[in-house]
Structure 1
Amino acid sequence: MSQLQERRIGLSARLGAGVALAALLAGCSGAGGAGSSGADDEINVLMVNNPQMVELQKLTADHFTKDTGIKVHFTVLPENDVRDKITQDFSNQAGQYDVATISNFEVPFYAKNGWLHPLDTYSAEDKAFDQKDILEPLQESLTAEDGKLYAEPFYGESSFLMYRKDVFAEKNLKMPEKPTWQQVADLAAATDGARKGMKGICLRGLPGWGEVIAPLTTVVNTMGGTWFDKDWNAKLDTPEFKKAVEFYVDLVRKHGEAGAPQAGYAECLNNMTQGKSAMWYDATAGAGSLEASGSPVKGKIGYVAAPVEKTDSSGWLYTWAWGMQKASKKTDSAWKFISWASGKEYENLVGRTVGWSDVPAGKRASTYANQDYLKEASAFASVTRQAISSANPRDPGTQPRPTVGIQFVDIPEFTDLGTKVSQEISSAIAGRQSVSSALKNAQALAEKVGKEQK
């Protein structure tokens, strides 16, 4: 058995049976086009069904294919399903898909396992792509330990606090430019019930390592906690971690949205758009929807930095990016698609044809010098760029970490660990158990992962 086969089998076992089953179900869905071994003027792209990607799918034939002659077969799936299918195809190096949407979470271990094609040579030779224009934190997050670049960002995001300026004015409240979490809690209490059916804040409570765990971990970081210390000792039962979780659970239970244990990003976006929340702490990507043409709260929202306590900043860092499968036989065509989808001209295309608030931003310095974009995104553009620029995946808290990651721990096992811990936290938000009980169970889960890493 080769080392690569051993790594594949090891990863498969760590990801668990749930991933394999979901991948199998996704594989049986009938999605997908011609195999990677087909004609050179055709490629297969597997991507998440986020609005920006769906828009790209609509624009591809009339622009990319028309200009290059390269036909793109898209497979578009929900986030959990697409992650499972990508893991299945890339870990086996099946080569069915030439390009897939991966994130800065997957890049380090996908690259280490030899599943991705390095993009350094392509980006260096493609002067029009302008690699230096990509924001440095995103470049770093998509660069593996060997120093090679393995993905190009489609859009980047951090996190910040969004609030209703009009409601704050009516209540004679002032939002600090750099609020603390205690200030946020006080403001949530003051705005709870300010309008009929309005709660003070919306915070994710939905189980999932990419749902409740994302914002919660930024609170843990800034309050002095960490999932693991530098030696992989689990730290979920420490006073700092407990303080952060108790604060989060207490805040969302007292002043958060109705049905919080089932509320994720989409539900909080809905609540904010419909006037059901006075504040929302979440991804910077949400601002585009809030300020979009036709949004009932357009022009009513203010944006400030992610709340802090012991750290200077606490925003997360995340990017959906394009990775090229190592097994692809059509690397030149795959790069042409990646360079188009992550390029300046694509942003301009979206701005002209769809609207500047829909531009997949957060990845290029030139975006924040584009006057057309800034005119429509003036409410949140500078705060977004500052949040991304100040994100520090290698040192996001107050103590050394064993690996990179702000809102996640960058190991394959975190998909399972984070999901299981999230179920415990969500149960506490629902009032079915105490935070102490939730963290006792979570600590036991984390200790097992820590021992494996040692």
Structure 2
Amino acid sequence: MKIFFSLIFIIFNAIILRERVVAAEIDLNKKEVILSAAEQPPYLGKDLPNIGYAAQVVTEAYSRVGYKVKINFFPLARANQMAMQGESDGYLAIYSGNVSEADFLLSNSFPAGRFVLMKKAASKLVDTRTNKTDKSGFLKNISKYRVGFTNKAAIPPELVYADQSKKVIVNSDLEGLDMLMTNQLDLMLLDKLTAGDLIAEQRPQYINQLEIFASLSTNNFYIGFPKSSSKTGQLKEEFNHGLQILKKDGTIYKIMYNHGLSAAILPARGNTTLTIGTLNIASMLTLQKLSVEYQKKHPDISFDWRVLDEKTLRLRLLSDLAISDGQYDILTIGAYETPIWAKNNWILPLKNLSPQYGIEDVIKPVRHLLSLDNNLYALPFYAESSMTYYRKDLVANAGLSMPEAPTYNDIKRIAAAIHAPEKQIYGICLRGDPGWGANMALLTTMVNSAGGRWFDERWNPTIDTSEWRLALQTYIELLTLYGPPKPEEQDYAKNLTLFQGGHCGIWIDATVFASALLDPRQSKVADKIGFVRAPVFHLATGSKWLWTWALAIPKSSKTSAEAMKFIEWATSREYIQLVAKKYGWINIPPGTRSSTYEEMHYRTVAPFADAVFRAISEDDINNATLTPRPYIGIQFVEIPEFASIGNNMGRLTSSVLAKKISVDMALKLGQRDAAVQMRESKYIH
């Protein structure tokens, strides 16, 4: 009997022990850190890639030691309070001054940005220091001025002992910039990149009107762990260990680079270094590889390539211009930016091109996109219109045919027939990610075709109208009924991958993707793809876009002559021939030169050549809407404010896709916000 009870006791203990082991294993698998944070663009924010550089660093550091990270965004004071009260494990802060060291243990730091004092460009204030390390002289100078600070900012060492009598506390960085422009402040303390991004995105009318008075100390990110928590010591040490790994293996610097926050660390090879801001797309990466061929003939030249995604590149370049920072020698800019930047004297006119360049060979509408007052300001690297790609086999199997000039009703009918999500085949793929050059590129062409426009003849926004409602409702129905999951996250790169993998039935997007779709080395459905014109509602006018990515030289470049020689080479017939020789004619940068479409080798491998050449040649940026409008452009409006207005409408559209707001609400909010911007910029009263 004793033996029986002993066995029962042993078995019971074994079960309990096993349950504890399993529970411990489950707990180990669930190791998670929850942090509260306030948005701090361009370092931290819900709408940034990977929710920002700081979030990615923290996530990567903790992942190295077996943790998952969740970051919740709140207003500044609430984010701090959440951690203090134990509702989160810590507070992710850009400045140590945001965190009370009486209440928090601070992690090791990692780089954020640099403090600067901004001033109005027209002001006569001058930093009189001959020695930039002369803090006492600087303090005497600075104490004469009204200096704006926000409560959230730590005071950099240079200003700690400055006369506080003229210190002005402002509610936000944006309010401080506004006060500078209205002469209520002499100087404003900000993070340099934050200043540039705020101007670029929310106050485009200030571009080139504010500049850096003095560059100060660097600042840092920390995690503040509440001293009241029993987990604080372990979480701090685990993060510090993971961060050390990132610093040691160089991951942290790669993350900074990918977010456009630092230069590539490359050895200089020549006497002159050209710094190039460009896109992380295949054709630009090919240019980067083939630049070694240029260096063979120009050994005195070396390159600092800053290769970024489209949204980050646009923001970093415009932010650089906004505060007159002057980091770049060559800019990759588009049809939207070129005439605006030319008008503002930010980029150089490209005169005296060499005779062998053959400017008349560049397709006329593309030349017009890059010109102002008959002067060329950028050289086109590739150009595109838009068209409809479709799976011929899926359409045929459904007993249907795709018209050569489809309507959106045709597209809806065919997408419904071929949509088979259970087989991971989606009726249609469209850009859903927010941005004036992302979801709004297609949606604007839909609005044009429906008879709408962005503004009337007097610059009043026309967003909350029946034409916009038809376009937006159709777009939403197509993606929510027949598109892939989470359509609001689909960008052109994801759609390209889906289509190449055989998962899309229809895709309306740029003509430049034709080569990647028809290349059997990249596409599983290369032999099954058809292409026709972009769809229409009532009008063909403005129903397809016209775009070019081009190379320009900023006025601030100190190596403009060398930059000019390189961009001529990179956009020449000679370069196109070089790409064809190295990678095949199917992979050349298309859309720029008439001679490309006369080349039999290209026409042999590119059955879409005639359709693309026709689409680009017949686009008209001056006549893209049914009724008159005061602006130039097809899928964009050629004014500085459009980036902000278009991005805002893109976010609202994405919110409709995510079922957060209705179509009517998006149109009302878009109308209201556009009107506010146009009033602030003095277009309307």
Match of 2:546 in 1: 317
1:265 paired to 2:265: no
1:105 paired to 2:336: yes
- 1:307 is paired with a residue of what secondary structure? coil
Structure 2 CA distance for partners of 1:28 and 1:219, relative to 1, 3 Å: closer
Structure 2 CA distance for partners of 1:237 and 1:17, relative to 1, 3 Å: closer
Deviations 1:335-389 (A, max 9, x none): 11111110111111111111222111111101101111111112x2111111111
CA distance in 2, matches of 1:2, 1:151: 27
Match of 2:252 in 1: none
Task: Quote the offset at 1:334 in angstroms.
Answer: 1.1
- 2:548 is paired with a residue of what secondary structure? strand
Q: Bigger CA drift: 237-246 or 87-96?
A: 87-96
Deviations 1:406-449 (A, max 9, x none): 11222222222212211211121222221011111111111112
Match of 1:345 in 2: 574
2:329–2:559 CA contact under 8 A, matched in 1: yes
Task: Quote the offset at 1:192 in angstroms.
Answer: 1.6
> Which residues of 2 match residues 233-272 of structure 1 at below 5 A?
233-272=460-499
1:393 paired to 2:621: yes
Task: Quote the offset at 1:29 in angstroms.
Answer: 2.0
Match of 2:310 in 1: 79
CA distance in 1, matches of 2:501, 2:592: 29
CA distance in 1, matches of 2:315, 2:181: 15
- 2:371 is paired with a residue of what secondary structure? coil
Match of 2:525 in 1: 297
1:130 paired to 2:338: no
1:425 paired to 2:653: yes
Task: Quote the offset at 1:172 in angstroms.
Answer: 2.4
2:383–2:549 CA contact under 8 A, matched in 1: yes
1:96 paired to 2:327: yes
Q: Quick one: which amino acid aligns to residue 284 of structure 1?
A: T
- 2:451 is paired with a residue of what secondary structure? coil
Match of 1:140 in 2: 368
1:403–1:410 CA contact under 8 A, matched in 2: yes
Structure 2 CA distance for partners of 1:272 and 1:9, relative to 1, 3 Å: farther
Structure 2 CA distance for partners of 1:85 and 1:9, relative to 1, 3 Å: farther
CA distance in 1, matches of 2:472, 2:123: 39
Choose from 275, 279, 282 the match for 1:44. Answer: 275
- 2:375 is paired with a residue of what secondary structure? coil
1:287 paired to 2:514: yes
Q: Quick one: which amino acid aligns to residue 201 of structure 2?
A: G
Q: Quick one: which amino acid aligns to residue 31 of structure 1?
A: A
1:332 paired to 2:561: yes
Structure 2 CA distance for partners of 1:164 and 1:18, relative to 1, 3 Å: farther
2:264–2:304 CA contact under 8 A, matched in 1: no
Task: Quote the offset at 1:17 in angstroms.
Answer: 6.2
Q: Quick one: which amino acid aligns to residue 440 of structure 1?
A: K
CA distance in 2, matches of 1:364, 1:326: 27
Task: Quote the offset at 1:39 in angstroms.
Answer: 7.3
Match of 1:306 in 2: 534
2:464–2:667 CA contact under 8 A, matched in 1: yes
- 2:262 is paired with a residue of what secondary structure? coil
2:330–2:563 CA contact under 8 A, matched in 1: yes
Task: Quote the offset at 1:148 in angstroms.
Answer: 1.2
Structure 2 CA distance for partners of 1:195 and 1:350, relative to 1, 3 Å: farther
Higher-Rg member (1/2):
2
Task: Quote the offset at 1:252 in angstroms.
Answer: 1.4
> Which residues of 2 match residues 177-196 of structure 1 at below 5 A?
177-193=404-420, 196=423
Match of 2:287 in 1: 56
Q: Quick one: which amino acid aligns to residue 291 of structure 1?
A: L
Task: Quote the offset at 1:91 in angstroms.
Answer: 4.2
Match of 1:66 in 2: 296
Task: Quote the offset at 1:142 in angstroms.
Answer: 0.4
Structure 2 CA distance for partners of 1:347 and 1:4, relative to 1, 3 Å: farther
TM-score, normalising length from structure 2?
A: 0.61
Deviations 1:165-220 (A, max 9, x none): 12222222111111111111111112222982212111121112221111111101
- 2:460 is paired with a residue of what secondary structure? coil
Deviations 1:39-79 (A, max 9, x none): 76432222121111111101111x11112333332221222
CA distance in 2, matches of 1:309, 1:46: 38
> Which residues of 2 match residues 8-27 of structure 1 at below 5 A?
14-16=199-201
RMSD (CA atoms): 2.9
Q: Quick one: which amino acid aligns to residue 304 of structure 1?
A: V
Q: Quick one: which amino acid aligns to residue 666 of structure 2?
A: A
1:276 paired to 2:470: no
1:408 paired to 2:639: no
1:32–1:74 CA contact under 8 A, matched in 2: no
Q: Bigger CA drift: 233-242 or 199-208?
A: 199-208
Structure 2 unaligned spans of 5+: 1-119, 125-176, 183-194, 208-255
CA distance in 1, matches of 2:481, 2:260: 43
Corresponding residue pairs, total: 445
Q: Quick one: which amino acid aligns to residue 282 of structure 1?
A: D
Structure 2 CA distance for partners of 1:9 and 1:408, relative to 1, 3 Å: farther
2:202–2:644 CA contact under 8 A, matched in 1: no
Deviations 1:136-158 (A, max 9, x none): 111001012x3211000000011
CA distance in 1, matches of 2:273, 2:536: 48
1:163–1:280 CA contact under 8 A, matched in 2: yes
Deviations 1:208-238 (A, max 9, x none): 2221111111101100111111211111111
Task: Quote the offset at 1:311 in angstroms.
Answer: 2.1
Task: Quote the offset at 1:272 in angstroms.
Answer: 1.0
Q: Quick one: which amino acid aligns to residue 58 of structure 1?
A: K
1:93–1:325 CA contact under 8 A, matched in 2: no
Q: Bigger CA drift: 73-82 or 261-270?
A: 73-82
Deviations 1:76-111 (A, max 9, x none): 122222222222334455443211101111112211
Structure 1 unaligned spans of 5+: none
CA distance in 1, matches of 2:437, 2:123: 28
1:26–1:85 CA contact under 8 A, matched in 2: no
Match of 2:457 in 1: 230
CA distance in 1, matches of 2:263, 2:390: 43
CA distance in 1, matches of 2:639, 2:203: 17
Q: Bigger CA drift: 336-345 or 265-274?
A: 265-274
Structure 2 CA distance for partners of 1:162 and 1:25, relative to 1, 3 Å: closer
1:228–1:450 CA contact under 8 A, matched in 2: no
Structure 2 CA distance for partners of 1:407 and 1:95, relative to 1, 3 Å: same
2:260–2:308 CA contact under 8 A, matched in 1: no
- 2:297 is paired with a residue of what secondary structure? helix
CA distance in 2, matches of 1:302, 1:431: 32
- 1:337 is paired with a residue of what secondary structure? helix
Structure 2 CA distance for partners of 1:289 and 1:24, relative to 1, 3 Å: closer
Q: Bigger CA drift: 236-245 or 65-74?
A: 65-74
Task: Quote the offset at 1:33 in angstroms.
Answer: 6.7
Match of 2:383 in 1: 156
Q: Quick one: which amino acid aligns to residue 65 of structure 1?
A: Q
CA distance in 2, matches of 1:185, 1:89: 43
